[in-house]
């Protein structure tokens, strides 16, 4: 009888420990709007991972929201701007649109992306980056919190819309630049998209356009093969994702 009781207590202990471990291993994303205008963050999970924040929501100036992701989560965040939604969540956005308030797919480029692959296992590292491969719409930064390893800041704190080449500009009805296309999006050629005969790092070097992005935002992906200076790692960290960081 005593043996059965001890076994039951052991099982309860292991169950409690497993619950605690799953809580501890959750990664907390704090999304922070430092813009002077409302943004509508969109979220997208890869490979059937948990959908965070129901896929999308409004975030007023100065507001923050926290979202928890399980170990092994992989996905992206981005800001939508100039959105109008009705009470049912139907509507559209000037940039980063995904077909409704709650995104079921990725944002329409050009859009600045925060991308993550969270570790799934002890002593493993998270991978994260800010990408301009799909173009740019707002400043965006990722700051690790409480992690181990390099854990460097990743982001684009420059306003690329102000210096966007005319051929890459996306403008609103008032001719105000609201986003800046990547060269791949604008021209759709192998040279700029790193496809076909240009599908390797050796055959797809930086272009004048990607160099302009890289000079303005050295801690962000400027084109497809910009891995070396643009992908960051950290272990056991939470992350603060800031729209319109001050620098």
* CATH at 54: 2.60.110.10
Mean pLDDT, residues 216-234 taken together: 93
Kindly tell me if the per-residue pLDDT of 10 is higher than 60: no
Spatial distance between the Cα atoms of 225 and 198, rounded to a whole number of angstroms = 11
Q: Is residue 201 part of a domain?
A: no
What's the structural domain count of the chain?
A: 1
Predicted structure pTM score? 0.88
pLDDT digits (tens, 9 = 90+) for 91-119: 999 999 999 999 999 999 999 999 999 99
Spatial distance between the Cα atoms of 247 and 235, rounded to a whole number of angstroms = 24
Spatial distance between the Cα atoms of 87 and 71, rounded to a whole number of angstroms = 34
Beta carbons of 50 and 73 less than 8 angstroms apart: yes
Q: Is residue 70 part of a domain?
A: yes
- Confidence grade of residue 17 (pLDDT, cut at 50, 70, 90): very low
Q: Is residue 167 part of a domain?
A: no
The closest of 115, 162, 108 to 135, measured between CA atoms, is: 108
Q: Is residue 22 part of a domain?
A: no
How far, rounded to the nearest angstrom, does the alpha carbon of residue 214 sit from its chain's CA centroid?
18
Q: What is the pLDDT of residue 2?
A: 47
Residue-range definition of the domain harbouring residue 131: 27-158+217-243
- Confidence grade of residue 25 (pLDDT, cut at 50, 70, 90): low
Q: What is the pLDDT of residue 15?
A: 43
Q: Is residue 21 part of a domain?
A: no
Q: Three-state SS for 170?
A: strand
Q: What is the pLDDT of residue 122?
A: 66
Q: Is residue 13 part of a domain?
A: no
- Confidence grade of residue 160 (pLDDT, cut at 50, 70, 90): very high
Q: Is residue 184 part of a domain?
A: no
Q: What is the pLDDT of residue 59?
A: 98
Instruction: Annotate 174-223 with DSSP letters as a single string.
Output: T--EEEE--HHHHH--HHHHT-GGG-STTTS---HHHHHHHHH-TBSB-S
- Confidence grade of residue 22 (pLDDT, cut at 50, 70, 90): very low
Kindly tell me if the per-residue pLDDT of 123 is higher than 80: no
Q: Is residue 153 part of a domain?
A: yes
The closest of 235, 225, 172 to 202, measured between CA atoms, is: 225
Q: Tell whether the torsion through CA atoms of 10, 11, 15 and 18 is positive or negative.
A: positive
Beta carbons of 135 and 101 less than 8 angstroms apart: no
Spatial distance between the Cα atoms of 168 and 164, rounded to a whole number of angstroms = 6
């Amino acid at each position: 009888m005593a043996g059965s009781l001890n076994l039951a207590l052991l099982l309860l202990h292991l169950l409690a420990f497993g619950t605690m471990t799953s809580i501890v291993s959750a990664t907390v994303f704090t999304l922070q709007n430092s813009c002077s205008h409302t943004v509508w963050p969109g979220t997208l999970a890869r490979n059937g991972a948990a959908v965070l924040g129901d896929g999308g929501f409004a975030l007023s100036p100065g507001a923050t929201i926290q979202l928890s992701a399980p170990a092994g989560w992989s996905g992206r965040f981005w800001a939508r701007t100039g959105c109008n939604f009705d009470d049912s969540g139907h509507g559209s956005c000037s940039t980063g649109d995904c077909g409704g308030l709650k995104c079921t797919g990725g944002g329409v480029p050009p859009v600045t992306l925060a991308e993550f692959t969270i570790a799934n296992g002890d002593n493993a590292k998270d991978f994260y980056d800010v990408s301009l491969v799909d173009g740019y719409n707002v400043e965006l930064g990722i700051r690790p919190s409480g992690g181990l390893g390099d854990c460097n800041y990743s982001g684009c704190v420059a306003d690329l819309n102000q210096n966007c080449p005319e051929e890459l500009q996306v403008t609103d009805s008032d001719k105000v630049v609201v986003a800046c296309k990547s060269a791949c999006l604008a021209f759709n050629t192998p040279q700029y998209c790193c496809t076909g005969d240009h599908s390797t790092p050796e055959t797809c070097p930086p272009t004048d356009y990607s160099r302009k992005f890289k000079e303005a935002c050295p801690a962000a992906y400027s084109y497809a093969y910009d891995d070396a200076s643009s992908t960051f790692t950290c272990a056991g960290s939470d992350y603060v994702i800031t729209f319109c960081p001050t620098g």
